[in-house]
Amino acid sequence: MTANIEINNVSKRYGSMTVLDGLSLSIKANEFMVFLGPSGCGKSTLLRMIAGLESVDEGTISINGERIDTLPPGQRDIAMVFQSYALYPHMTVADNMAFGLRNIAVPSEVISARVAEAARMLEIGHLLERKPGQLSGGQRQRVAIGRAIVKEPKAFLFDEPLSNLDAALRVRTRVELAQLRNRVKSTMIFVTHDQIEAMTLADRIVVMNNRKIEQIGTPMEIYSRPASRFVATFVGSPTMNFLDIGISEDNGFVSARLPDGTQLRTAIRASGLNGGSHALGIRAEAVKLANGVPATTTGKVDVLERLGDRTLLYTRLKDGSVIVAEDIGNSRVAIGDEVGLTLDGSRTHLFDDEGRAWHNEEPGHG
């Protein structure tokens, strides 16, 4: 059985400090939902409220239409995987996985069958007689996930489960989690501050910041059409380029005046824009070396970041602003070179002085 989870106008306070302020969110059955945001944004608190480890000050949380925020954690039919693994060091892997089921008097033959099946899914069958001290960090994390799987809960909650792993193991375990998600059909909520984890694992991402939800969408909706300047800054590596611009209208579309006076026609409708100042946002992959075509603007290369498949050029424009452009992996550009850059106006975004976003009308762009 899986869970539809409804979070309705939920708030959380610690004394005079508000941690979450009127959040509402629907999570579908079998959905892998990722809560993404910086430290202190409230994502782990929201997860712990769903689990019953934190109380709800206002609002309600329901699973399959039944309110659960008044129930104790053990009655919510939810399994949580913690950042710290929380394994019993004196017990074997098999006993760690079985412990919770024994506590609620599940028949031993059922426990054995569930442990064996979880071990098969996680490829840890050969580790069942070992103790946690004999395991690597990645193996211990798989045991912690296995302990959750054997409960056959309505939903799995993951609280930054990869943050204790080194970089290489983190990548490998992230791939394993993505594979596991296809084998275990259940609702899953995963908390992280790592955008790569979110983009890799999520069906939908909830981007959180400063006690509220900034945007909910698929990974590519979040990346291609960020709802705010915060989302555009937080998601994507390198972060989106921002240039202070003036705007005018060109046949119904916004024309942006760049800091050097160059006009760049965008695919953003001019109607509906508010007054005040605006910034132009553009991803590095939409900024290329001119290479024989007319350049939109020119600048001096300050830094080269060679990533193998591509090279990032941190280029300083004449007014001092910096824009990151993308070139081929084996780029011949050198630090100090003056280069011409072409900006793809159809892949630009506008952000007002309150951080709200405007995009082109073609969702495929961005």
pLDDT digits (tens, 9 = 90+) for 300-335: 999 999 999 999 999 999 989 999 999 999 999 999
105 token code pair = 């008097």
The whole-model pTM stands at: 0.88
Contact 316, 299 (CB under 8 A): yes
Render pLDDT for 64-88 as a digit per residue (tens, 0 to 9).
Answer: 999 999 999 989 989 888 877 788 8
Which segments in the chain show pLDDT lower than 70?
A: 1, 164, 362-366
3-state class of 76 per DSSP? coil
Domain ranges of the chain: 5-228, 241-358
Contact 124, 180 (CB under 8 A): no
Contact 126, 139 (CB under 8 A): no
pLDDT at 362 (0 to 100): 62
Architecture per CATH, 241-358: Beta Barrel (2.40)
> Do 5-228 and 241-358 show the same overall fold?
no
The CATH homologous superfamily for domain 5-228 is P-loop containing nucleotide triphosphate hydrolases (3.40.50.300)
281 DSSP assignment: E
| Non-local CB neighbours of 220 within 8 Å, separated by 6+ positions | none
Q: What is the residue whose two structure tokens read 């990645």?
A: 138
pLDDT at 309 (0 to 100): 94
Contact 277, 256 (CB under 8 A): no
pLDDT at 365 (0 to 100): 44
DSSP codes of every residue in 168-234 = HHHHHHHHHHHHHHHHS-SEEEEEES-HHHHHHH-SEEEEEETTEEEEEE-HHHHHHS-SBHHHHHH
121 token code pair = 């899914």
| Non-local CB neighbours of 32 within 8 Å, separated by 6+ positions | 181, 188, 190, 201, 202, 203
Contact 187, 51 (CB under 8 A): no
| Whole-number Å distance between alpha carbons of 229 and 356 | 6
Q: How far apart are the first and last CA of the chain?
A: 38
Other C-beta atoms lying within 10 Å of the C-beta of residue 287: 23
3-state class of 12 per DSSP? strand
